[in-house]
Chains A and B, each alone.
Chain A
Amino acid sequence: MSFAIRSTPIDPRALEERLRDARAGACVTFEGWVRNHQDGHEVTLLEYEAHEPIAVAEGEKIIAEAKQRFDVLEILAEHRVGRLEIGDCAVWVGVSAAHRGAAFDACRYVIDEIKHRVPIWKKEHYADGASGWVNCATGAPVRNAERAAETAS
């Protein structure tokens, strides 16, 4: 299993150990952290939700695609669900390869595809007490209109 949805903290060191390979000359990892602001609004916590069966199937598919496209040895990825606080690791992607170019490219491909395709949703809670689902045209009309404009540009 290369892709997992977790409700407990991600352990980057343990994941890195699973990437180890004597043929590897490069290891590229990406960590997505919860930041304290979005579109000028102060964010206090994030809530992630996934539909796990399809999220895992789609995550595995993305990793299989990346292994086809890039000359890499191993790829692993994990995504958190539940309530996350500022600074928590929400997503982790790691790639080992003989050379760094393929490792960087595959890592970028996997995180970008996860963001676009995997059924995971993120609800932002703001310092002013409001909240809203990111990318959804509901919940916080003004902020979502700002995001729509940002996406369109």
Chain B
Amino acid sequence: MIDVTARYFAAFREQVGAESERITTSARTAAELFSELAERHGFADARVRCKVAINDELCDWETELTHGDEVLFFPPVAGG
């Protein structure tokens, strides 16, 4: 198990009811953590439409998590 911080934006933040939370998880990758959190918080967006960043760098969903990481979950974007 590792400890990470999950940060949420826009629709995700409103669904969670918080900007961030500390998570103790057995998830190995960003994708696994997303699945765990999507189930817990009822995220309706498909992962393929979302993006993830670790420690302020966009990354692949299969990136492995490290203890202490800050993982940012971005719902589908809508600039412009």
Contact = CB atoms under 8 A, between A and B. Distances in A.
Interface of A: 32, 48-51, 53-54, 58, 79, 90-91, 111, 114-123, 133-139
B15 A119 contact: no
Given A115-B78, A119-B53, 17 more contacts: A32-B80, A51-B72, A58-B58, A79-B79, A91-B80, A114-B79, A115-B80, A116-B77, A119-B51, A121-B10, A121-B78, A133-B75, A136-B44, A136-B78, A137-B44, A138-B14, A139-B11
B35 to A, nearest CB: 16
B56 interface: yes
A31 to B, nearest CB: 11
Q: Is the interface of A mostly helix, strand, loop or mixed?
A: mixed
Q: Which 3 A-B pairs have the closest CB atoms?
A: A121-B10, A120-B79, A136-B11
B80 A119 contact: no
B61 interface: no
B74 A119 contact: yes
A139 B80 contact: no
A83 to B, nearest CB: 14
Interface of B: 9-11, 14-15, 43-46, 49, 51, 53, 56-58, 72, 74-80
A48 B49 CA distance: 19
| Best-surrounded residue of A48, A49, A90, A138 (most CB of chain B within 10 A) | A138
A15 B23 CA distance: 44
A137 B80 contact: no
A26 to B, nearest CB: 23
Contacts of A114: 79-80
B71 to A, nearest CB: 13
